[in-house]
Amino acid sequence: MTVEFKTRLLIGDINSETDFTDRLMGMKIDQPIRLSRASQHTAVLTLKNYDGALTPGAGGTYTNTDWFSQAVGIDFSDDAGATYSRLFAGVITDFNVRDNGVFSQVEIQVHDWLMFLGRATGTLTTTAGPLTDAIRFALEELVDNTTEMPTFNGTLDAITHSQAGSSTNAAVNISGVIGNDFNNSLTASNLCAVWSNNIDIVRTSTPKIQMEAVVVGDQLGYSMMWPRIGGVGAYTTSPVQFVEGTPASGQIPFTALDVGFNFQLLVNRAQITRDGGTLQSVVKQDSVTKYGARTVISSKASSSTDADALSAANNIVNRQSETRFSPRTLTFTAADCNGLDGATGDNIRILLNTQACGFQPLTVTYTPTGAASAVTANCMTFGRTITAVPGKFRVTLHLLPAQDFGSFVLDSTFAGVLDTNRLG
């Protein structure tokens, strides 16, 4: 098998899905991963409407479609359509018809379903347990037991969450789950991240919309940043390799690389107060002297004890008090990858599959301007931007230095060594 990119666009509700791929003129997908935050993903799609079929009220095929009750799934294939994986899933939040009198197009804006949870007004009170279980429980309850979510033209009973029943525990009481309190809960685990990754229409005796979310991290300020290398559930510490020039088997060629300092993530002061606890503060004075104060404050963190809150503060400052000159973004295209071998396709699938793309280790081998030879930088994926029109597919990966943001692996040449304290 050789690499051959294809994309597929599915739009549907609780009753059916329709393949709109032939109408897709172009798309842009933004999928950031934010440290200690619920990440909001967006997509903008441009569809052909030359026949007027999409125009509301015009009498065409989709004239009566309730577009704001539709789930959107964008899939990709690296094997010419033999198999597909989910690239993006979301809910339509805006629908605009553009008509110049000759041609008509429809522009659809799509947000992932975490945005709807962000509007939630419900309150949840739960019992003790790990932060990851708290987050999952909160998502389950807001999907299953409230009216905060769109019903996709179904009843509330037709909406489910793939983690339903996995937990009845949370670290602390959670109020207004996805607002500031939710993000403060994530701050307690520092590098914890949450992003939605799928909406599936499940065909059972009662059709259901099933939603999935990825939660990375745990409650004590320790990090779990190698979650799904090689696919969902798989684990290996072998990084994906990006190279200049002609790639070997499994390697991916890149077309553009931005290298520089990332001051946006610089933090040298952390002040964390757990719910019912006292302020825990950590300062890296040499970094403050060098860069000026960059502070993170969490006033209602979900740490179980003050010691846990202090550990989280240490974790943030130890990892983020230095900014390094390293790759920040990397771009590769379908044009450069089509025709490469199946091993390369497997690695591309890891980076594009929305269930496996976050915090993946990769190496970038490049020759800096003025350098006599190539260097290799160890990085972690930190979100992506995807743009596509028929025949063209472009992916920009956002990167972090692995030595600061990778998991702590004993004596790892990639992520660090035993005597380096990055966990607090």
pLDDT at 291: 94
User: In this model, does residue 173 exceed pLDDT 50?
Assistant: no
Query: Out of 15-24, 261-270, 312-321, which region has the weakest mean confidence (pLDDT)?
Result: 312-321
Instruction: Report the pLDDT value the prediction gives residue 212, as an integer from 0 to 100.
Output: 77
pLDDT at 17 over 50: yes
187-223 pLDDT, tens digit each = 655 556 677 788 888 877 788 888 877 666 543 333 3
Please state whether 70 falls in left (phi above 0), alpha (psi between -120 and 50) or beta. Answer: beta
Strand partners, 79: 4
Query: What is residue 134's DSSP assignment?
Result: H
Tell me what pLDDT residue 281 has.
94
Residue 143 has pLDDT above 70, yes or no: no
Check pLDDT > 90 for residue 335.
yes
**pLDDT score of 387:** 97
CA angle 234–87–235, rounded 5-degree value: 10
From 110, 196, 116, 194, select the one nearest 161 (Cα to Cα): 196
Least confident of 100-104, 328-332, 372-376: 100-104
CATH architecture entry for 1-224 = Beta Barrel (2.40)
Confidence at residue 275, expressed as pLDDT on a 0 to 100 scale: 72
Beta bridge partners of 159: 209
CATH topology (fold) of 263-320: Phage tail proteins - 2 layer sandwich fold (3.30.1920)
DSSP E strand boundaries for 369-416: 375-389, 392-401
pLDDT of residue 131: 54
Average pLDDT, the chain: 79
Express each pLDDT in 91-126 by its tens digit.
999 999 998 877 899 999 999 887 776 666 655 555
Which element (helix H / strand E) includes 136? Answer: helix 131-144
Q: What is the DSSP string of 146-180?
A: SS-S--TTS-GGGEEETTTTS--B-SS-EESTTSH
Across residues 369-377, what is the average pLDDT?
92
Q: Is residue 191 within 8 Å of residue 39, measured between CB atoms?
A: no
- 49-53, 140-144, 318-322 — most confident range: 49-53
- What gap in Å lies between CA 84 and CA 261, rounded to an integer? 36
Compare 299 and 408 and report the one with higher pLDDT: 299
Q: Where are the domains of the chain?
A: 1-224, 240-261+325-405, 263-320
Residue 88 CA to residue 31 CA, distance in Å, equals 9
Q: 4: which residues sit within 8 A by CB, 6+ positions away?
A: 77, 78, 79, 80, 338, 339
* Better-predicted residue by pLDDT, 216 or 364: 364
Q: Kindly tell me the sign of the dihedral angle through the C-alpha atoms of 242, 247, 251, 254.
A: positive
Strands 85-99 and 71-77: antiparallel
Helix/strand number for the chain, H first, E second: 8, 22
Structure tokens given for 85: 């994986």
Mean pLDDT is highest, among 114-128, 304-318, 321-335, for 321-335
Q: Helix axis angle, 131-144 relative to 180-187, nearest 10°?
A: 160
For residue 340, the Cα-to-chain-centroid distance in whole angstroms is 26
Note the pLDDT of residue 201: 83
Residue 134 has pLDDT above 80, yes or no: no
Residue 336 has pLDDT above 60, yes or no: yes
Q: Do domains 1-224 and 263-320 have the same CATH topology?
A: no
For residue 310, the model assigns a pLDDT of: 86
Containing H/E element for 107?
strand 104-111
Q: Confidence band (pLDDT; 50, 70, 90) for 353?
A: confident
| Residue 371, pLDDT above cutoff 50 | yes
Q: What is the pLDDT of residue 178?
A: 47
Would the pLDDT of 370 be above 70? yes
Return d(Cα 200, Cα 89) in angstroms, integer.
9
The secondary structure of the chain in percent helix, strand, coil, rounded to multiples of 5, reads 20, 40, 45
Tens-place pLDDT, residues 249-293? 999 999 999 999 989 889 999 998 877 789 999 999 999 999 999
CA 420 – CA 66 distance, rounded (Å): 55
* Rounded-to-integer distance, Cα 19 and Cα 6, Å: 14
Percentage of residues of the chain with pLDDT beyond 90: 43
Q: What is the mean pLDDT of residues 60-71?
A: 92
d(CA 400, CA 2): 30
The residues pairing with 259 across neighbouring beta strands, listed in sequence order, are 327
Q: What is the pLDDT of residue 231?
A: 38
Q: Tell me what the mean pLDDT of segment 288-307 comes to.
A: 84
Amino acid found at 71: A
Structure confidence at residue 169 (pLDDT): 40
Torsion of CA 73, 79, 83, 87, to 10 degrees: -20
Cα–Cα distances in angstroms (integers) from residue 124 to residues 137, 141, 146, 214, in the given order? 9, 8, 11, 20
- For residues 219 and 28, which has the higher predicted lDDT (pLDDT)? 28
Q: DSSP code of 38?
A: B
**Least-confidence region, from 39-43, 85-89, 156-160, 182-186:** 182-186
Instruction: Count CA atoms closer than 13 A to 316's CA, side-chain side.
Output: 30
Q: Is 406 left (phi over 0), alpha (psi -120 to 50) or beta?
A: beta
More confident residue, 252 or 154: 252
